[in-house]
Each structure stands twice: as structure tokens, then as C-alpha cells.
């Protein structure tokens, strides 16, 4: 069986710094977290697709966005589970599941098992990791 996975985007730290603001770099490349209720897309209701700020990979649809009350844009599932990767995050004296873009390894946020049906998941994502491509 042939591996159909596309190769990951690899850039140097300097290349990422040239393309991203300092804030976006801290969030996406250093796994920082924006303060709750401060992100550009926290309260956005605009229809469209949220793509990775670093590489443009489609990540989440406005159709799955909901108000979790957490202070970050929240979704109950990605556009395609192959577009996101998860790993155990043991930082900050907690055990959480980190969400990353599978195309470029950008830090997106975390996923929790306390979301709404049909998935029961809450993908809690930093606005600085996303760009909204509005539906026309």
C-alpha cells in the first residue's frame, strides 16, 4: 500500500519569524496560549473555514464552532481528523491533549472530552493559530 501522506512543511525558526508576528510565533511555534476572551475569533459567528495561520491547512468549520464559555474559539470536531495531530501535554502541572496542525506542526490549542454531541469533544483553539476564510 502506498503512503499518500503529504510531506510536512519544514521551515527554519528564522523563516517562521519572518512570516508571523511575534505573538503568532509565540502561540504557534512555542506553544504559548493567548489569554481567555482576548482572541480575534472567540465570539466570531461568521461562516467559513478556519485554516492554519502558518500553512493554510483547513482545520475547523464554522458549522462545528460553539460557545463553550471557556474564552477560546471552540469546535466539536475538525474538518478532517487527518489535518490535526494530538499528543500528551504534561506542561503546567497538568495532563492535557495538545492539538497541532498535521501539515506544519503549529500549536493550535488543546482538546478536551467535555464538548457537545455528536463528538463530546471540545477543541479549544487559539485565535492566533487560525485564519478565517469566509464563505461567499
- Active-site residue, from 54, 101, 104, 124: 124
32: Cβ–Cβ under 8 A, 6 or more apart, which residues? 26, 107
Rg of the chain over Cα atoms, rounded to whole angstroms, equals: 14
pTM: 0.91
The larger pLDDT score, comparing residue 30 to residue 136, is at 30
117: Cβ–Cβ under 8 A, 6 or more apart, which residues? 76
Q: Judge whether 48 and 132 are in contact, CB under 8 Å.
A: yes
Is a pLDDT exceeding 90 seen at residue 72? Answer: yes
Active site residue 101: no
- 3-state DSSP call for residue 100? strand
pLDDT (tens digit, 9 = 90+) per residue, 106-126?
Answer: 999 999 999 999 999 999 999
Amino acid at each position: 500500500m502506498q503512503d499518500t501522506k503529504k510531506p510536512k512543511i519544514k521551515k527554519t525558526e528564522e523563516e517562521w519569524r519572518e512570516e508571523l508576528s511575534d505573538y503568532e510565533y509565540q502561540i504557534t511555534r512555542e506553544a504559548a496560549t493567548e489569554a481567555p476572551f482576548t482572541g480575534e475569533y472567540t465570539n466570531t459567528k461568521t461562516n467559513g473555514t478556519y485554516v492554519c495561520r502558518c500553512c493554510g491547512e483547513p482545520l475547523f468549520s464554522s458549522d462545528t464552532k460553539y460557545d463553550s464559555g471557556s474564552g477560546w474559539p471552540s469546535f466539536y470536531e475538525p474538518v478532517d481528523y487527518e489535518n490535526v495531530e494530538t499528543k500528551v501535554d504534561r506542561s503546567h502541572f497538568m495532563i492535557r491533549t495538545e492539538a497541532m496542525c498535521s501539515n506544519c506542526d503549529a500549536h493550535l490549542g488543546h482538546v478536551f472530552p467535555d464538548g457537545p454531541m455528536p463528538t463530546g469533544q471540545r477543541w479549544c483553539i487559539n485565535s492566533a493559530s487560525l485564519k478565517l476564510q469566509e464563505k461567499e
